Structure formats: C-alpha cells, structure tokens
Structure 1
Amino acid sequence: MDILILGGTRFVGRHIVEAFVAAGHRVTVLTRGQTAADLPAGVKHLTGDRDAPGGGLEALAGRRWDACVDVSGYQPRQVRASTAALRARVDHYVFISTVSVYAEQDREVVRESDPLLPACSDEAAAVTSETYGPLKVACEALVQAAFPDASTILRPQIVAGPDDYTRRYPYWPDRAARAGEGEGPVLVPGDGQDFLQVIDARDLARLTVWLTEARRPGVFNVSGPRLTWAEFLRLLGVREVRWASLSELQAVGAAPHEFPVFLPRGSAQSGLMNVDHTAALAAGLTLTDPAVTAEDTRAWSRTAGLAPLLPAARESELLAYLDAAADEHQGFGLP
C-alpha cells in the first residue's frame, strides 16, 4: 500500500512509520521540516504546514495514497485543511486521537461508547491541558464527516516506550536505574495500590498498520496492561520506596506534575488508568510485556540526555521535609 503519514519524525509517528515500512508498505511523510529524523531507507519526505495560510499543503497536489495516518492533528484548522486536501487523494483516513476526549474521566471503566467532552470550536485555541481533549473531539468530528465510512479513530492513553521525548514515563525507569546505583529511596505518591496503565508505542504502531491494511473503520481505545504502582516498581527493580500520601506531599509543597503519569484512584481522571481495550484486542492489538517496555525505554533513555521531571536535588529536599514532618508529628505524642 501507499501510505501518507502526517507527522512521523518523533516518538509515536516515528514508530508508526517504522511499522509500516517493516510490513512492506511504501511510506511518505509530510512534515514541517523542523525535526531532523533518521527514518528508514525509502521513506519519501514532503514538506507542508497545515498552519500556513491557505493550508500549506501544496506538496500533496498531483499525488495519491491508499491511506493517510494523521499523527500531528491537534487543532480543528489543521484537520480541516488536511481532510479537505485529501478527500479525493486517499481512500482511508486514520486519526490518532486520545482518551482525553472523554467527558467522564473518573468513570470505571472508560469505554468507546462513553460521552465525549464538548468539542472546542475555536480554530485559534492553543493546545493546553484544558483544551487538549475538546480540540481532539473537534478533530475527530471533522475526520468522520469528511470520511464517513472510511475513517478510523484511535484513542491511546499515555504512550510509553523508546523515543519518548516527553520525559513522563521514562522518569520512572531512569529513577529505578539510579536507585540501583545507590540513589534511594524512591519517592512515590500513594500506598502502591493506585493504578498505572500505559500503551507501548510499538503496540499502537502495529495496530495502526493492521487496521489500515484492513481499511477497518471505527473507534478504538488503545491501552495496555493495568498494574498497581507496587507491581510497576517491582518490575522496575526498585527495592526501597518511600510512599507518601497526597496530603503529606501537599503539606511539604510537592506539586502533582512532579510525579509524572501518576493519577490517584478516585480522582477526577482516575478512569484514564482503567481504559477498556476489548475492541482493540479483537481487532488485533497485541501487548508488550510491561517489563520489556520499561527495559527498552531505559536502554534508549540512557543516552538520550533526558532531564528528570523530578530532579534528584528536589526529591531529596522533599524526602527531608517529609522526614522532618514525621518527626514533628511523632513528637506531639511525647509526654
């Protein structure tokens, strides 16, 4: 098949490109040309910018593909431009969305039939933590309207694995490695019974290929194995953990973003760690062992130069505050 990928030079897009090439397809990527990428031999490169006046997609003129995979559509104006330009140039449109489109993110379990957030209609809205989901809802609707019987919507949760420049998931395999070298204990929110559920980028990529080959329309949640944090830290090989309740962390000034990919059970977004993937499994999704995802991520990040989202000095500071608070609390009980 001839495949057009919008994006394709970083993380998820890169894995999708590699999966299509491995499956024997001819791949063209359309990017803004701002990110250097060592993609597999034979991949064709086109330059275009959906944010440019007039659509910025002149490079698509006179060309045709069997399918398009849109990895980089975040705002309605971008997807409006690409669906208009490709309506007569591709037979199938695959859109990489997100589980953040769901309105009731505390629901246990999150399924494809759950209600969505109101779509963001502001064409100029910036992508923020508040607008990300509503913007993707609007983008999904544009794809489905332009390709009513020939669109596939994939809704991954947090994506993990090698090449994850976001630094979110890699923090934990990297921190576990430092703990193995004597830098411990590892500070972790909760009591070990909260849940972590991520999808390996390579699993998402393989599913994208299979659904595209089958030209299978529909909406699919794409999520991985569900672990408790205690299980996750064990598979990382962490031996010394300093668990801290959210109230303890808040009392010493710790912010939620300092502990990436942690969502406490019972919180407003806890359902995003309980995402049903039954439909995706039936469609061919295969899941990498979480230990392999962690090992491969660490192997990549070892030379990636990622700065930890919770720096060692800050973690030590928080641990000292927690110990001092615990000592003070115990002191109240002395006669």
Structure 2
Amino acid sequence: MSDDAIRTRGLTKRFRTGQVAVDGIDLAVPRGAVYGFLGPNGSGKTTTIRMLLGLVAPTAGQVHLLGEPMPQAAARVLPRVGALVEGPAFQPYLSGRANLVRLDAVDASADPRTSRARIDGALDRVGLGAAADKRYRQYSLGMKQRLGLAAALLRPRDLLVLDEPTNGLDPQGTREVRHLVRELSDAGTTVLVSSHLLAEIEQVCTHVGIMGHGRLLLQGTRAELTARRGARVVLRVPAADADAAVAELRRLGLTDAAGERPAADGTVTVTAALADDDGTQVDGAGAPDGGAHGAGPRPQDVAAALVRAGVGLLALDVRRPSLEQVFVELTGEGFDVAR
C-alpha cells in the first residue's frame, strides 16, 4: 500500500432500496499524483469520496489512505488529509475568519499557539484576506468555495480531496485554484479532484479515473488514457496528389487512409490511424514499408515516404484523442460531471 496515497479493493455501496451506488471499484491514486476523478451525474463519485473519508460506511470492500486502513486508522490519518466535499458549510453569522477559528479549535492535533498565523495564511492563500472579517452569509458562492478551500489548507496536508473545487468561481478564481493545485502537488501533496471543467482536469491532472453507473470504467495516467485510441496522422496535399497520398499510406500499412473532399484552395485533407488493430498507440520504430510484427510507421517515416513517392506534402499533423473523446466513448454521455 506504500506506493499509493489512496487504494481501494472491491469498494461497494449498496443502499437499502437495493440501488448500487458504487460497485466494487479498485481505485489507485499514486502518491504525489493529481488525480482527476470524472463521471456523469449519478456515477458514484461523491459517494466514493465520502467512503474514502469515513463519512459513509461501505457495504463491502477495503479503503487505505496514506498506507493505513480506514476507518480503523481515521484518528491517525485524517489530520493529514484536507477535504472539500459537496460544498462548504459554515456558520452564516460568523465571519470567514471566525469560522476558521472554530474549525481550528476542534482540531486536537493543531498547535493553538500558531492558530492565528495558520488561519491568516490559509485565507491569503485562497484570496480571502481582504474579506476575512466579512460575515459568511454575505459571501458570494465563489467566496464560500474559497473559504472551504482555506479550511482544507489550515495545516500542511499529505492528501487533499477536492469535490468540485472551482464551483462558483470566476475564470480568475479558477486559474488560481489550478495554480494552487499545482503548487501543492509540487510540494509533495497528493490531490484527488473531481470537476465538471474538463479543461481544468486536462491542464492539472497527471492521472485520471472515469466512473460510470457506479463502476470505475478506466484509470491510469492522462497520457495512457488518451493514447488508448491511438493517434491519427492528418495530411494536407494538393488535390492532384490525393489519390497518390492515400495509396502510399495504405502501402505503409495505414489501411484506413482516406481523403476528404477538395477544399476551396485546391487542397485535400488525408487522414489515417497510427495505431495497431487493438487500438494501442504506435510510436515505436517502424520501417517505411509498414514494419514487422504489427508495428506501424512513425510520423517522420510517413513524411519521408510521401516525399519519395512524389506527393506534394503541404502539412502533416499528428492528432491524439482528447480526454473528452475518451470520456464520451466510455460513458456515451456529454461531459457534465460532478456528482
């Protein structure tokens, strides 16, 4: 368990109605990773997060946080874990600072002598220093979300669990959260973050897990997930050379090569998949004639072969599937995730 900040085995949550919210998932979040936890509404993400933190008892399965079993080791583990789950809840008639003072006071492992410095530091870190003495009920949604982040950051954390951390934030606030996550990760904190903002996940996450109907459909590094469908080579050639380009690509073993209709400028776009039949990425050494043992040509091999064949190659690009394409492929749904 030492290599993972979070690991589950067969984690399951079944409600009394018979509904299975989480169905035997094996989650693996490496230490130091920024793990993007994605899934459509109702996919079981927040239920999973609540089980990880001991807020909900699992029906079956095991949970280890920071190498220790939960909830048995909760008293030792949770002081090392910061969390923002399903939006923050604070006393509405107290100021942001006063709310944090109350939270800090109930943390038996916190040093009361450094309380003021830690609270001020957390408020400044999330951009609430100037509004620290304003009543919580007067906070905007974005400010409330920032205060929840401040509460999670009152102490240095080995693990940070964030459920929709950018909810209600404007673009500037979203960028600040993104930078904060990177800063924490660079300092060695493992971060698990769920978000409906795909662009944010793609920019900050090193690993991704995709949930659907209570099951973990896929997990791995971001590069592994987007490479699973392989890359495509996209060429632009003169219309007169389109047939020759397609023929040469097929000779190289790119059997799905095809050209589109000529554009107004007299050029044609030709595409082909740079992948084996099983969908694995082909970026190893491949001979210009297609190579042996199922290996495909590299992009530079494609360009060289086309030039040798006399094709007027105007442009060559290699496009890999986006995380959104992988998500839609797995879930059949648009990207509107969170809970």
State TM-score, norm by structure 1.
Answer: 0.25
Structure with greater strand percent: 2
* Larger-gyration structure (1/2): 2
State TM-score, norm by structure 2.
Answer: 0.25
